[in-house]
Structures are given as structure tokens and as C-alpha cells.
Amino acid sequence: NAGVTQTPKFQVLKTGQSMTLQCAQDMNHNSMYWYRQDPGMGLRLIYYSASEGTTDKGEVPNGYNVSRLNKREFSLRLESAAPSQTSVYFCASTPRPGNSNQPQHFGDGTRLSIL
Amino acid sequence: DQQVKQNSPSLSVQEGRISILNCDYTNSMFDYFLWYKKYPAEGPTFLISISSIKDKNEDGRFTVFLNKSAKHLSLHIVPSQPGDSAVYFCAGHKETGANNLFFGTGTRLTVIP
């Protein structure tokens, strides 16, 4: 059981380049999330998708776009990468929000460096 | 504004002793609190949770205590093992909407053999 799979695991970009981070889950979860983790900042929510066909902004959405391609896949796009977007990005999913007995499951992250 | 705070960036404990990780929060609307554990190069994994209507939840070596009046919770690990060495994140859960987890900055626990 793969759970939440993120690709790529590592990426180096130049300022201004674009990139799409991929996330797929095989647990038939309804809700999916994108976080970034920075030193001293914990995990901050970028965008989320409560269910297939819906997306909403989180705490730090500027500079990002998302697509909920289908129930399994939720991608994060950087249209014009900036050094401030250097971070570790985590995708997560949950059967549905609002139930702590079904907490969010995380992928192993994408480490992104913008030069 | 950081709604969940973990003021200790790191903690070192001898194997076999108790580890106590602390977390403070400001938002009274949290209905659950969760602890996640994270190893290097891996994603966070769920460890234990507690409802805001309870003051204690226990799962094996892990116990979480909640003091609502102080807006404080703590995770106790007894006895601590070297495999417990990881970063621990506290998170508050809000029922409204899908944007429902707010994380602290994490505490790095090192269990010394």
C-alpha cells in the first residue's frame, strides 16, 4: 500500500522557471492538501481540496496554483519560481476533514531549491 | 499569527527516562489536538490525538495531557527509546472547513542510548 506518493523527491530550479509537483494517493481519500515546511515555521498550508472538483487557498497561497485532476491526484504548480519558494513540500490526504480518528496521511515530501 | 506554539526547539533525554514535549495554543475553537512524528527525509506520521473534551489520552508508551484552562498540552513518552528520536509536531484541529490543521514549529527529540 503506497499511501501518498510525491514526485519528484528533489528538484533544483532557476529563478523564473516553472514546475509542477505531483501527488497521488491510493486510499480513496476525499480531501487533499499541500503544505510547505520551512525551518522554524512548522508546516504551513498552501492549498487544499476538500473534495474532487474543489480547491481553496490556505495560509500561504501566493505564487502557487493547484489542480485536483481527479480523486487520486492533486498537483501544485509554481508558475515563476522565486528563491523564497525554496522549501520542503508535503502532500497529505484524509478520508474527509473534521474527524480526528482519520488524521491526515503525508507523503515523504519534495525538496525544492530555487537558485 | 502562530496559533499553535512549541517553544522548545529541541530536547535530549536518556534512554529509559521520560520525555515530555510541550505545546501551547491560542485558538479556543480547536476541537482536537494531534501529535505527529517525523523522521528525516520522511513525511510526518500520526502518533496520537486528544479531544478537547478530554484531559488525557493514552496509547502504549505515549500519553497526551490537555489543560484547557491553560491552553496547554503535553506529550509524555515513557520509557523513551532511541527509535523515538525524531521531530514531533503538535497540531490543532478546527472542525469548520477543510482547512483544519494548524501545526506548531516542532520539537526535535534525541534519545541518548
Instruction: Label residue B9 by pLDDT band (50, 70, 90).
Output: very high
Give Cα separations from A45 to A41, A94, B10, B45 (angstroms).
Answer: 11, 14, 23, 17
Express each pLDDT in B41-78 by its tens digit.
Answer: 999 999 999 999 999 999 999 999 999 999 999 999 99
CB-based contact B106 A104, cutoff 8 Å? no
Residue A42's pLDDT is what?
Answer: 85
For chain A positions 35-94, those within 8 Å of chain B (CB to CB) are 35, 40-45, 48-50, 56, 58-59, 90, 92
Interface with A, mutate which of B5, B53, B99 (most A CBs under 10 A): B99
Distance (Å, whole) CA A70 – CA A7: 17
User: For the segment A75-97, what is each residue's pLDDT rounded down to a tens digit?
Assistant: 999 999 999 999 999 999 998 77
Query: Given this model, what pLDDT does residue A39 score?
Result: 85
Instruction: Identify which of B1, B5, B9, B2 has the alpha carbon closest to the alpha carbon of residue B87.
Output: B9
Task: Look at residue A65 and tell me whether its pLDDT is greater than 80.
Answer: yes
Q: What is the mean pLDDT of residues A10-16?
A: 96
pLDDT tens digits, residue range A24-64?
Answer: 999 999 999 999 999 888 899 999 998 898 999 998 999 99
Question: In whole angstroms, how far apart are CA A111 and each of A8, A33, A74, A106?
Answer: 8, 17, 17, 14
**Residue A103: per-residue pLDDT:** 86
- Residue type at position A28: N
Q: Is B46 on the interface with A (CB under 8 A)?
A: yes
pLDDT band at B25 (very low <50, low <70, confident <90, very high): very high
Residue B97 has pLDDT above 80, yes or no: no
Residue A100, pLDDT > 90, answer no
Which residues neighbour B90 within 8 Å (Cβ) at sequence distance 6 or greater? B4, B6, B21, B23, B25, B33, B34, B35, B73, B75, B103, B104
Taking only Cα atoms into account, the Rg of chain B, rounded to an integer number of angstroms, comes to 13
B40 in A contact zone (CB under 8 Å) = no
Judged against a pLDDT cut of 80, whether residue B95 lies above it is answered with no
Q: Nearest CB to A98: which of B34, B49, B95?
A: B95
**In the prediction, which pLDDT does A2 show?**
74
